[in-house]
Amino acid sequence: MEIRTEGIMVCVHYGPHGQRLIHRGGELARRLQAPLIVLTVDAIGDNEYNMQRQHYLSAWEKQTKEAGGQFLIRKCNGRKTVDIITETARENRITQIVLGQSIRTLWQEITKGNFINDLMERVGTIDLHIVAVQRYPEMLEQTHEQGSTAYLVPEGGRYILAEEAAGGETIKGVFFRELDTDFNTGLFKVVKHGEAQYLRIVQNEWVKPV
């Protein structure tokens, strides 16, 4: 009987859950003494730049290398994400794939159809690990430092993270800094009308949703 040589691939996409998925895949690779690959499928055009997304890519690449793995970015070029994942898995002799899914999924393709079912049909004997990714309040303790009071201060048409209030338009909240980062990047919690909202902070600046 032929013994299967294991290969682990983690699929991450734009959003805050990649760190957790890479950690899960890295632990699996260590236990199995298997090579680790982290894949992200890039749907952004060559001439487009997104600072927040670039931060994620840099952090994921650093975390992957620290886990002894290889970080890959594959362009969509009009192709489906499921096809690129399948192709990359076969090229690298992957036996197990780790990816995340939540109520609000990470990939728009998942929300538009049966992404997981399509992937299962195409990857054949490759095992899929579907990790439940949670919303911010439940995942903060795993991915961010303990929160502390902070302020978003208006400056030149944007909002900058600060330790003290300045002016009437200052926004008070709680800042949760991401683990394993050298910058003030993380989540800023604001309570409005009794409901908590989480604003994304990248290198001291509030990145407003597009």
- pLDDT score for 107: 46
Strands (E), the chain: 8-11, 36-42, 70-75, 96-101, 127-132, 148-155, 158-162, 171-177, 186-192, 195-202, 205-206
CB neighbourhood size of 184 (10 A): 17
Picking from 20-29, 45-54, 70-79, 161-170, which range would have the lowest pLDDT averaged per residue? Answer: 45-54
- pLDDT score for 40: 93
What is the residue whose two structure tokens read 């594959």?
74
Give the tokens for residue 29.
């690779």
The answer to whether the predicted template modeling score (pTM) of the entire model surpasses 0.85 is no
* Edge-to-edge strands, sheet with 70-75: 70-75, 36-42, 8-11, 96-101, 127-132
Picking from 1-5, 8-12, 45-49, which range would have the lowest pLDDT averaged per residue? Answer: 45-49
